[in-house]
Amino acid sequence: MDFVFTPEQERFRAEIREFLEKEIPPEFRRKPENNWIRGFCPELSRKLGQKGWIGLAWPKKYGGQEKSYMDRLVLTEELVCSGAPVFSHWFGDRQVGPAILAHGTEEQKQKFLTGITRGEIQFGVGMSEPEAGSDLASLQLRAIEEGDHFTINGQKVWTSGIHNAHYIYMVARTDPDTPKHRGISELVVDVNLPGITIRPLKDMTGEYDLNEVFFDNVKAPLDSLIGEKNHGWYQIAEQLDFERSGVERLMSNYPLLRDTVEYVRKAGLNKVDWIRRKLAQLEAEFEVGRLLVYRVAWMLSQGKVPNYEAAMAKGYGTAFEQRLSNAITQILGMYGQIADDSEDIPLIGRAVSAYLYCPAYTLQGGTSEILKGIVATRGLGLPTK
């Protein structure tokens, strides 16, 4: 047993920190929370790509470094905690790349993995539809093979960042006649194809990160297919585990916690008993969450496939993130409901932003209810019926 990072990993951490000190553009520094999903900055992604810090664990021939998942953990922890705006490569690095690595053709790997590691290709992920949220297998969007292409018709919804992406990594129904799990395939489709319309949606924070995507007789070449046709359902389970398992599920608001502690100290609120206790409790919960997240990375680094462990880490981490934002608005009192970002407002309205964003954590990437079901059935072997 050992709960430390190796000296090389600590050196790696220091190197990343030093790099980010210099390279994060100032406009992303003021409000560092959630920048892994809200901060779009292709320039930074390209620089990270040049350092070899995208696709860190992938084979060298596709631009990876063949490092371990523990190294990747160190990297992602620094990126998330520093508020680095890394959304433009996040989906590629986190889930699309590993999926293509597992199921793609050599050509697809050459093209997409290399593009991802260079920070040049941005992906959106098209899973949810209006009638298919948690019940993803009931999806209705169709991609019907016709000659040399798929004809795609239907709608995706809640598609993060697709307005900035080059490709949509999507699941579609390729065989409408077989039972629902069996007729599904994974496709990578160029979002600039004719017939694709993207409509931005405003969320309760007032931002437009999510979109609706409409497909009207879109013709996508046959090599859009990833893996085996009609086998998509069995391929994506793993992708979802990758989507769920990362540090961002615990640490999206870490900068806010750190800066609140600092603010409380400076404002002399550290003498107030209930504030001390609240922050101490959060710290304890954070440390527990960190180990749940580390466990998943450690398993991956051992060549094991996390199963319920990713679901547990995400469920715990996202609930923590909500308690954190809530507690900080309370510590700030009346300032906890002021959203002005002027310097004379404590924490420049970041607590309000965090509170408005935080319901999303327990919905995106599998709702907490679904995840609890996974822990209960896959993890504990409880019956499904």
- Using CB under 8 A, list all residues that contact another protein: 128, 131-135, 138, 157-158, 201-204, 206, 210, 274, 322, 326, 329-330, 333-340, 349, 352, 355-356, 359-360, 362-364, 367-369, 372-373
How near is the Cβ of 127 to ligand FAD at its closest, in Å?
3
Residue 126, binding choice from ligand FAD, another protein, none, Cβ under 5 to 8 Å by partner class = ligand FAD
d(CA 232, CA 181): 9
Contact call for residues 347 and 277 (beta carbons, < 8 A): no
Task: Write b or e for each residue in 350-369: b if 16 or more Cβ atoms lie within 10 A of its Cβ, otherwise e.
Answer: bbbbbbbbbebbbbbbbebe
Residues in contact with ligand FAD, counted by CB under 6 A, come to a total of 17
H or E element at residue 217: strand 210-221
Site string for ligand FAD, 130-159 (x = CB under 6 A): ---xx-----------------------xx
H or E element at residue 216: strand 210-221
Residue 162 burial (CB count, 10 A): 27
How near is the Cβ of 345 to ligand FAD at its closest, in Å?
25
Residue 337, binding choice from ligand FAD, another protein, none, Cβ under 5 to 8 Å by partner class = another protein
d(CA 247, CA 258): 16
Site string for ligand FAD, 294-323 (x = CB under 6 A): ------------------------------
Tokens 């304890």 label which residue?
A: 284
Token representation of residue 169: 């990594």
How near is the Cβ of 119 to another protein at its closest, in Å?
28
Piece of 53-61, 127-135, 141-149, 290-298 that binds ligand FAD (CB under 6 A): 127-135
Residue 338, binding choice from another protein, ligand FAD, none, Cβ under 5 to 8 Å by partner class = another protein
| Dihedral angle computed from the Cα positions of residues 287, 282, 324 and 78, in that order, rounded to the nearest 10 degrees | -30
Closest to ligand FAD by CB, 116 vs 331, is 116
How near is the Cβ of 34 to another protein at its closest, in Å?
14
Residue 339, binding choice from another protein, ligand FAD, none, Cβ under 5 to 8 Å by partner class = another protein
Residues of this chain, 326-365, that bind ligand FAD according to CB under 6 A: 360, 363-364
Q: Please report whether residue 127 would count as binding ligand FAD according to CB under 6 A.
A: yes
Contact call for residues 273 and 137 (beta carbons, < 8 A): no
Q: Whats the size of the chain, residue-wise?
A: 385
d(CA 22, CA 197): 38
How near is the Cβ of 360 to another protein at its closest, in Å?
6
Token representation of residue 340: 């002005």
* Candidate residues 367, 376, 378, 379; the one interacting with ligand FAD per rule CB under 6 A: 367
Residue 330 burial (CB count, 10 A): 13
Residues of this chain, 205-234, that bind ligand FAD according to CB under 6 A: 210
d(CA 273, CA 265): 13
Token representation of residue 116: 């991802």
| Dihedral angle computed from the Cα positions of residues 124, 130, 136 and 141, in that order, rounded to the nearest 10 degrees | -70
Contact call for residues 46 and 23 (beta carbons, < 8 A): no
Residue 211, binding choice from ligand FAD, another protein, none, Cβ under 5 to 8 Å by partner class = none
Q: Backbone phi, then psi, for 75, in 5-degree steps?
A: -60, -50
Token representation of residue 64: 């990876």
Piece of 74-82, 121-129, 298-306, 338-346 that binds ligand FAD (CB under 6 A): 121-129
How near is the Cβ of 109 to another protein at its closest, in Å?
32
Q: Please report whether residue 88 would count as binding ligand FAD according to CB under 6 A.
A: no
Residue 76, binding choice from ligand FAD, another protein, none, Cβ under 5 to 8 Å by partner class = none
How near is the Cβ of 103 to ligand FAD at its closest, in Å?
18
Q: What secondary structure does DSSP assign to 137-158, as a single string?
A: GG---EEEEETTEEEEEEEEES
Residues making contact with ligand FAD (CB under 6 A)? 125-128, 133-134, 158-160, 210, 360, 363-364, 367, 369-370, 373
